[in-house]
A = this chain, B = another copy of it.
Amino acid sequence: MYFCKMFEEKKTATTSIASLGEFGLIEKIKENFGIQDPTSIKGIGDDAAVLDHADKTVVSTDFLVEGVHFDLSYMPLKHLGYKAVMVNLSDIFAMNALPTQITVSIAISNRFPVEAIEELYAGIGHACSRYKVDLVGGDTTTSQTGLIISVTAIGTAKEEKITYRSGAKEHDLIVVSGDLGGAYMGLQVLEREKAVFKVNPQSQPDLSTYAYSIERQLKPESRKDIVELLDELNIVPTSMIDISDGLSSELLHLAKASSVGCQIYEDKIPIDPEVLGICKEFAINNTTAALNGGEDYELLFTVDQSHFEAIKNHPLLSVIGHVTEKAVGCNLVTGLGQQIELTAQGWTSHQEEEEQGN
């Protein structure tokens, strides 16, 4: 965690987990987590939590594995805890539902002191209070190496509001919230600074010009505001997914689940000016960053054309294209008017294919 000092003061206390024991650790965690959501009847402390959902219940779960999903050399534990919750709440919002509870399990090696676990749960707690969800259970155990976090998010929605990936219809508008590519470019900056830091640990880089992108990577938000906005606008999307792996991959998921094709326009993809600047600096095509970058946790959804007026100028939403018949496939129209087929890991240019075919 040497690199963390770039971001925060480290505490020096190092209480061993063994000295506290598993039950001691659970008690310590429990102290900071009461239950507030009216659907939480019983939280931490019994064999199971008890919930009271008048509407439908939605459930999603994700693993975060050290060395695979996060690098503690630049990811402060508090941010990691926050992000672990966001990743899962994002899946609940992608159902057009509102999260009510989470469970968090951690497997952690003895190299972490109790204070590190407290940092992690401080981030989890911050996410819970900000998004008004209750931590109602979990498991704490030893791992032989590293840190593994498993979060299960539970939410609720009226049946008629629940939005699957499978309902997109031809001519629907394709809409994305916020902007894309920031989390991926933030990661590029952090990886570069880590490499610099290894060579010169005294370096104190000025990262202020990358602040937005780094925050997108280290402390993403999930789009509760969009679910609330859709409710206010009386819009139930025909299909929805959250953007965790990149716009291209998620569009293909929606298209496959709905048995449709799609056409999106390069010029319509929302990208923050800071991200455009970093793309230039790193010589990465900004459309590539948006299509394949991942971890933006924005919402991608389709709505009936009749809603165009209601959303076309909304600052949080961008209409990026429309749903087509399945036979057309999924395509991007570039700024120069070329049509390019989208693939999960980038895109294949028809032109290139044809050239190779000749």
Question: In the complex, which residue of chain B has the Cβ closest to the Cβ of A164?
Answer: B46
User: A334 interface residue, CB < 8 Å from B?
Assistant: no
Task: Kindly state the separation between the CA atoms of A107 and B47 in the bound complex, as whole angstroms.
Answer: 24
Does more than half of chain A's interface fall in helix, strand or loop, or is it mixed?
A: strand
A61 CB contacts on chain B under 8 angstroms: 103, 105, 137-139, 150, 152
Task: Kindly state the separation between the CA atoms of A166 and B26 in the bound complex, as whole angstroms.
Answer: 18
Contact assessment for B60 and A47 in the assembled complex, using a CB-CB cutoff below 8 Å: yes
What sequence of 0s and 1s flags, for each residue 127-138 of chain A, a beta carbon within 8 Å of any chain B beta carbon?
A: 000000000111
User: A242 interface residue, CB < 8 Å from B?
Assistant: yes
Contact assessment for B65 and A60 in the assembled complex, using a CB-CB cutoff below 8 Å: no
Contact assessment for B139 and A48 in the assembled complex, using a CB-CB cutoff below 8 Å: no
Contact assessment for A137 and B63 in the assembled complex, using a CB-CB cutoff below 8 Å: no
Task: Kindly state the separation between the CA atoms of A242 and B241 in the bound complex, as whole angstroms.
Answer: 38
For window 152-171 of chain A, which residues contact chain B by CB distance below 8 Å? 152-155, 159, 162, 164-166
| A residues lining the B interface (CB < 8 Å) | 41-42, 45-53, 56-63, 65-69, 91-92, 94-95, 97, 101, 103, 105-107, 136-139, 141-146, 148, 150, 152-155, 159, 162, 164-166, 240-242, 257
Task: Kindly state the separation between the CA atoms of A141 and B150 in the bound complex, as whole angstroms.
Answer: 11
Contact assessment for A48 and B91 in the assembled complex, using a CB-CB cutoff below 8 Å: yes
Stoichiometry (number of copies)? 2
Task: Kindly state the separation between the CA atoms of A57 and B69 in the bound complex, as whole angstroms.
Answer: 31
In the assembled complex, the CB of A79 is this many whole angstroms from the nearest CB of chain B, namely 20
Question: In the complex, which residue of chain B has the Cβ closest to the Cβ of A166?
Answer: B46
Question: In the complex, which residue of chain B has the Cβ closest to the Cβ of A52?
Answer: B56
In the assembled complex, the CB of A250 is this many whole angstroms from the nearest CB of chain B, namely 10
Contact assessment for A257 and B45 in the assembled complex, using a CB-CB cutoff below 8 Å: yes
Contact assessment for B94 and A63 in the assembled complex, using a CB-CB cutoff below 8 Å: no
Contact assessment for B63 and A107 in the assembled complex, using a CB-CB cutoff below 8 Å: yes
Contact assessment for A148 and B155 in the assembled complex, using a CB-CB cutoff below 8 Å: no
Task: Kindly state the separation between the CA atoms of A42 and B60 in the bound complex, as whole angstroms.
Answer: 12
Contact of A48 among B50, B51, B94, B107 (CB under 8 A): B94
In the assembled complex, the CB of A31 is this many whole angstroms from the nearest CB of chain B, namely 16
Contact assessment for A48 and B42 in the assembled complex, using a CB-CB cutoff below 8 Å: no
Contact assessment for B46 and A95 in the assembled complex, using a CB-CB cutoff below 8 Å: yes
Question: In the complex, which residue of chain B has the Cβ closest to the Cβ of A22?
Answer: B245
Contact assessment for A68 and B142 in the assembled complex, using a CB-CB cutoff below 8 Å: yes
Contact assessment for B53 and A53 in the assembled complex, using a CB-CB cutoff below 8 Å: yes
